[in-house]
Structure 1
Amino acid sequence: MSRVLFVFSFIVLFVTGCTSNTIQVINSEQQIEHPNDHRFENLDPGEKQYPATCETDCYRERADIQCTDEACRYTGPYLQSSYDEAFKVTWFGHALFQIETPSDATIITDPVFDEFDWPINWLHAWFNGQYRSHLPNLSVEQVSQADAVLYSHLHYDHFNKSDVESIGDHPSYRVPLRMGEKFPEIGAHITEMGWFSEDTLNTQTRGTNITALPAHHFSSRTYIPFIYEDNARVSWNGWLIESQGKTLFYAGDTGYSEHFRDIHERYGAIDVCLLPIASYYSPTSPKWYRYVHMTPEDAITAANELECQVMIPWGYGNASWGMGDVSSHSALTRFLNMLEVMPLKAKVIVLDEHVSAR
């Protein structure tokens, strides 16, 4: 029996050794942690003064948003199946984008294919049933062939460990500081990046530069029901992608703050901005929700401050979880209504979701 146990232990160690992840850390400007408990903090903490807030007719019904019992769909003039100029951008709902750069790199943001990791999936199924009515029409196999996967933070709707196991070790992974230790051991190459740190993704043609940028958010992850681990001990990022002189900004989950002005001061006008507009609504804690998620009018303000040439909103839709929203397309309804009363310099593109019903 002891010989059998020894052989089994050797096999486990051998397999674990073969599948250990490689974690590189790039923190060129030394993103600051709290000295006492090593928690990360936002660049601009504290009470906010928001430049604009919708007060009336925020959710006035629109003829260009059509809903059936199965799904809602925007049908207006901003609609495109994908954005295809310098970058080709395809949206698969919530925060999942496929980005093809001018240097032929394929980058995926925050892929989550089904519900949440355990135990949140169990809790939601127990109390609410299925949360997502539609799922991304993008296969795990397609993501596994990408050049890189960018994760913005470790919340369940943006990072799923079982999905990482399915995606595998072909793409390189770029993540916020300390997030690499949350990955399952799959033999992946993971680069943790502090705010304003840069890295280069090399393809067969030319390199694509990837820069980690600040977001105004937080991190926590339920370890067992109602008990949280790693609260703010793992950071949260936005991402800037630069290729052949063109730039694309993926903001990640974020509230509105001065960090957008900081980004513009460093990098100037941005060609394409993927900005969240959802999950700001809560009847019980509205100030907290807005503190860490942008309203549509916050996103319009941010787009102007970033000098976005093209703005693509996300976070709402049929494949979102509807957390902190009135309905699947309420955030888009408010966004389009606010465009009629707020100036926006950017060209607006509303991407059609590439999703399928469950």
Structure 2
Amino acid sequence: MQNHLKVIIAAALLSACSSPNTVNVIAGQESVIPLHNEGERAGRYHNLYPGDKHYPTTCTDDCYPETELLQCNDTPLHCLYQGQQNPASINTGFTVRWLGHASFMIETPNGEHLLFDPVKEQFDSPVDLAFKLAGGMYRNPGFWPTKNELNQIDAVMYSHIHYDHFNKADIEEIGNQPRYLVPLGVADNFPTGGFNISEMAWYASTPINDLTIHAVPAHHFSSRVLVPFIYEDNNKDLWNGWLLEQNGNTLFFAGDTGYSQHFSDIKQKYGEIDVCLMPIASYYHEENGKWYRYVHTTPEDALNAARELSCKVMIPWGYGNASWQMGDHSSHSALLRLLHMSHNMNEPVPLYILNEGEQVRL
């Protein structure tokens, strides 16, 4: 009898794992689908504002001065931010917990629970193995939600399919109870298992209860290795930022992005943004720095973007003890540069600095 029960349970689990996913596409009249229509790039996505960039501000000298606000065991490695902060200047009801790198858990004013770009530990295979063989740095594990917290998740949003933002093993652990919101084309990258996936065009919107979720542009690119060291899917799938709106309050997650006019476009369409989660890392590369900055914001780019969005508070991400140090001098060099440039630029947008695993109600 016990063996028979085990067979039934195993069959049920196998059936659940092989269940087809449900995929729908959301694109309204005001949506933007940035596809090349002809030429060798036909059917591939593109940024709204390609071409050479003008950056309003660039730090050139003494960009990473030490500060007493950042206590480090090995400057600037293994650090904790210890500055005094006051989140009481706004009252949106959003609770933001930084899980590490680009991953966030959000509780909305009315109690929905959401995840942005959840990646628990390392990359999916085969990049995980290739990265290890090439001597790449392995990150410390992020502050992953508990099983009980994962069971309460209403929606999971991914900005794009790069390995540090999208991990199939984590999707399988999170499970098929939440709704998954992704850019156009991304559903093809999911494991099977009965996942409910909505692909969204830029400026498309969808509700979850009385929470409105908007897919918004980012300035980036898309690729995911199919054969080790060979990319055959460049820009086959779109890339997004995300904007949450509830009770008249807004929270913006920029995703990976370079500096571009799309920030001003978002402000023009949606008005002032209350809480902005902005990337500040992966802009530095000795041999290919121009390209890295083209698709990633420097700290000063992020500050300028936050001003253009009229953010009432900016929370930076991408640095940290649970980062891969991709494209940066060290784990916290981007934060040192942010603190330095915020002071030098006399920026009006307040910063709220989280250490990984910390949360704040704003």
Q: Distance in 2 between the 1:143 and 1:110 partners?
A: 14
Q: Distance in 2 between the 1:195 and 1:159 partners?
A: 19
**TM-aligned CA deviation for residue 79 of structure 1:** 8.1
* Larger fraction in strand: 1
Q: Distance in 1 between the 2:91 and 2:142 partners?
A: 23
Which runs of no fewer than 5 residues in structure 2 stay unpaired?
1-10
Where do residues 28-177 of structure 1 align in structure 2 (5 Å cutoff)?
28=28, 29-36=31-38, 37-68=42-73, 71-78=78-85, 85-128=92-135, 131-139=138-146, 142-177=149-184
Q: Distance in 1 between the 2:80 and 2:98 partners?
A: 14
Matched, 1:223 2:226: yes
**Deviation readout 1:253-297 (Å, 9 max, x if unpaired):** 000000001001101100000000000000000100000000000
Where do residues 1-358 of structure 1 align in structure 2 (5 Å cutoff)?
15=15, 19-28=19-28, 29-36=31-38, 37-68=42-73, 71-78=78-85, 85-128=92-135, 131-139=138-146, 142-202=149-209, 207-354=210-357
- The list of structure 1 runs, each at least 4 consecutive aligned residues, that deviate by more than 3 angstroms after superposition, is none
**TM-aligned CA deviation for residue 134 of structure 1:** 3.9
**Secondary structure, aligned partner of 1:73:** strand
**Secondary structure, aligned partner of 1:187:** coil
**Secondary structure, aligned partner of 1:302:** helix
One-letter amino acid matched to 1:235: L
**TM-aligned CA deviation for residue 62 of structure 1:** 1.3
RMSD: 2.0
- Rate the CA distance shift 1:17–1:195 in 2: closer, same or farther, 3 A: same
**TM-aligned CA deviation for residue 77 of structure 1:** 2.2
How many residues were matched structurally? 338
**TM-aligned CA deviation for residue 345 of structure 1:** 2.0
Q: Distance in 2 between the 1:68 and 1:210 partners?
A: 40
| Farther off after superposition, 39-48 or 56-65 | 56-65
- Rate the CA distance shift 1:35–1:52 in 2: closer, same or farther, 3 A: same
Q: Distance in 2 between the 1:137 and 1:190 partners?
A: 22
- Rate the CA distance shift 1:332–1:286 in 2: closer, same or farther, 3 A: same
**Deviation readout 1:183-237 (Å, 9 max, x if unpaired):** 00110110000000000012xxxx1000000000000011121111321010000
Q: Distance in 2 between the 1:84 and 1:167 partners?
A: 30
One-letter amino acid matched to 1:180: A
TM-score normalized by the length of structure 2? 0.89
Q: Distance in 2 between the 1:61 and 1:138 partners?
A: 32
